[in-house]
Structure 1
Amino acid sequence: MILLDYPYTSDFLIDTVVKNQFPVVATKEAKEILQGTNANLITEEDAIAWVKSNPLSPVYTNSENSIAWIQQNLKGTALPAKIEAFKNKFKFRELIQEAYPDYFFKSATLSALANLDISDFKFPFIIKPAVGFFSIAVHKVDKPEDWPSIVSKIEKQMEKTKSLYPKEVVSNADFIIEEYIHGEEYAFDCYFDEKGEPVILNVLHHVFTSEYDVSDRVYSSSEEVIKRLYQPIMDFLQMIGSKIDLRNFPLHIEFRESEPGKINPIEVNPMRFGGWCTTADLTWFSYGINSYEYFFNSKKPDWNKVFEERKDKKYSLILLDNQSDIAQEDIAYFDFDAIAKDFEHPIHVRNVNMDKFGVFGFLFTETSKGNERELEEILHSDLKKYMVLKG
């Protein structure tokens, strides 16, 4: 069954749900999202009874917001504890500590940060909410004298997020401090099937402008990335599977490759693929793989067949956020037509409510080998050229 929730459900996911008649829990949010469709809605009471009677039945949610529903309504099942093991970054570090014995990490409350003694910490380090989402309040600390200003920024950012996301998504109480992992960053969608075997659905390279950049501007997938990292990722997933029983369980995982083939996880997001229906939809746009169907039908991609027709292509997910010095209230609208024209093959343009969610939208593209300059330019762009100002 599926739990649909805000902030965003894509048309592709809605079409998939309706076409396959996947059971959708009839929460207030789901009924609003699916209004006007012939979706297969089931009552919340029936959904609760079904999971309790069928504990290995696959459950998927498109949004972190639905974690609250699971925690409130599925007590007594294995799901809340499994979610907590991954969603709480400190608990996840404890779970895999045996596999990474030299890795430094520590927990602290928001109120304790200002007076925290960091003199013995390993620099540089990363601080972020123990339960967090969308790079909110994530900071790299290079030296002790930077700490007071960073704490001040975190306090302001966490105050702002209270109105955007529930506490289950972004906890404003607990933080994790952990050593900075050097290397290229990647993200991937996967699931564990009914037998507990992992299945990889996509792998994306998360590109940054510098080591100080923590934005989500560009993620790119390609044959080279998937084939090179396939086995190291499988080994990592099997290690996780040895620590916690996962069956019919979807995940979105971010990691850094500190040396060739060595995976160092950053975070593991349970019960879903990439947020805002991003990475799963990109997998369809790029490879013709419907991740939602693959999960519920326990299908595995035939990557060799997929890449027979997709040679020398790179498929990218681009976050259109405001990194300029222009205040949001001064922007009349964002010119999506203009930005699409600056790319070789824009596949899909996704417009969202900037005033409500803090981003203009997302762009899905296909780029030919040798034309990567378009991705480099958008990575460094403040997007001013696409902003039409008021007045």
Structure 2
Amino acid sequence: FLYTNSENSFAWVAKNLGPTSYPDLIGIFKDKVRFRELIAKLYPEVFFKKVSWTELDSLDKDTLSYPLVMKPTVGFFSLGVNIVKCSTDWDAALLSLKKDVSRIKSLYPEQVINVSDFIIESYIEGEEFAFDCYFNAEGEPVVLTVMKHLFSSESDVSDRLYMTSVDIVVQLKDKVETFLKQLGDLIPMSNFPLHIEVRLWKGKLIPIEVNPMRFGGWCTTADVTWYAYGFNSYEYFFNQRQPDWENILKREDRATYSIVILDIPATQRNKTIKGFDYEKLLTRFENPLELRKIDFNQHPVFGFLFTRTSVGNFNELEAILHDDLSEFIL
């Protein structure tokens, strides 16, 4: 088997796997407008509109439904994502977007983030969750992990903190399986992995993003599954295995296992950064499991940290969620 979860590999997949269903399926999910059109009948409450980059300045902001989210139709890493609460916030959001676009173009190819077209869609209230899964050879969905995605505020769109625990899986697993069956009925898939982000609103899961190229994250969400539950998501996908959730969810360990994404704060992006004090950062956590340093000159992150947080010590996760990391930047 060969598997890559690199966003940059999409052009290769399209060129070399053309006779298969994979390029079209990936294209459906990567293009947020196309995906919204396919699932619109399941979510009539979600407004969405496609707008080109050249149309944004002339768009009549008073005709839009607020609150809304504006983002590239093909995107990655929450880059270019802006929340607009009301029409008076539109101009500031548009200015922020323009500042992001030049930086985005220098980081990733068009297949990963396309800033020629944008989707304007309803801002979905509620808690956000993410999960990795796959559709097996028979087209049946298999849930590999469920994570909660925390934000520091209503306007926060970062990927700073994802966490999983037995309690989180118990809370959402049944709803996730129902959601996946509905998705599979609309878009038949087999031997196909997905990373999905949803909001839980009034008891209903509403998709925010469905992206096969993010299955396992940037070698992150699949690995937190190993730390938390003792199995490898890639291996389970390859071998068509299902987690023994019945026994996993009976265990006594109720700790929280997290991925902390050490993203470069907006206030530091135009400054010269000489380094990052990783050792100082590690002292802020009771049980850091693994630190993966990233070349911050090439990517908008300093690294990824995997942690285990015991029950009653959630304050350490709250602290890093609200930290701008400036004290660690050299």
Class of the TM-score when normalised by the shorter of the 2 chains? over 0.9
> Match for 1:313: what amino acid?
A
Cα distance in structure 1, aligned partners of 2:93 and 2:266: 20
Answer whether contact 1:114 1:148 (CA < 8 A) is retained.
no
> Match for 2:326: what amino acid?
K
> Match for 1:301: what amino acid?
P
1:304, distance to aligned residue in structure 2 (A): 3.0
1:95, distance to aligned residue in structure 2 (A): 0.9
1:215-267 alpha-carbon deviations (Å, 9 max, x no partner): 1111110111111111111111001100112000000000100123x101001
1:77, distance to aligned residue in structure 2 (A): 2.3
Partner of 1:116: 59
Partner of 1:217: 160
1:332, distance to aligned residue in structure 2 (A): 2.7
Partner of 1:25: none
> Match for 2:115: what amino acid?
N
Cα distance in structure 1, aligned partners of 2:168 and 2:266: 31
The alignment partner of 1:311 has SS state of coil
> Match for 1:228: what amino acid?
Q
Higher-Rg structure is 1
Is 1:208 equivalent to 2:151 in the alignment? yes
Partner of 1:258: 201
The alignment partner of 1:211 has SS state of coil
1:106, distance to aligned residue in structure 2 (A): 0.7
Cα distance in structure 2, aligned partners of 1:110 and 1:335: 39
Is 1:369 equivalent to 2:311 in the alignment? yes
TM-score (norm 2): 0.96
Is 1:228 equivalent to 2:171 in the alignment? yes
Cα distance in structure 2, aligned partners of 1:78 and 1:321: 34
> Match for 2:257: what amino acid?
Y
Partner of 1:299: 241
Partner of 2:326: 384
Within the candidate set 74, 79, 93, 2:36 is matched to 93
Partner of 1:134: 77
Is 1:191 equivalent to 2:134 in the alignment? yes
1:310, distance to aligned residue in structure 2 (A): 5.0
1:53-85 alpha-carbon deviations (Å, 9 max, x no partner): xxxxxxx42211111111122223211111111
Q: How does 1:117-196 map to 2 (within 5 A)?
A: 117-196=60-139
1:183, distance to aligned residue in structure 2 (A): 0.2
Aligned-pair RMSD on alpha carbons? Answer: 1.5
Over 3 Å counting, the alpha-carbon distance change for 1:271 and 1:213 in structure 2 is closer
Partner of 2:286: 344
Over 3 Å counting, the alpha-carbon distance change for 1:274 and 1:114 in structure 2 is farther
Could you tell me which runs of 5 or more consecutive residues in structure 1 were left unpaired when the two chains were aligned.
3-59
Cα distance in structure 2, aligned partners of 1:198 and 1:248: 10
Cα distance in structure 2, aligned partners of 1:179 and 1:308: 38
> Match for 1:303: what amino acid?
W
The alignment partner of 2:62 has SS state of coil
Within the candidate set 47, 50, 58, 1:107 is matched to 50
- Percent identical residues: 48
TM-score (norm 1): 0.81
Within the candidate set 249, 268, 271, 2:210 is matched to 268
Partner of 2:259: 317
Partner of 1:63: 6
Is 1:284 equivalent to 2:226 in the alignment? yes
Q: How does 1:27-38 map to 2 (within 5 A)?
A: none
> Match for 2:153: what amino acid?
S
Cα distance in structure 2, aligned partners of 1:372 and 1:192: 34
Over 3 Å counting, the alpha-carbon distance change for 1:326 and 1:367 in structure 2 is same
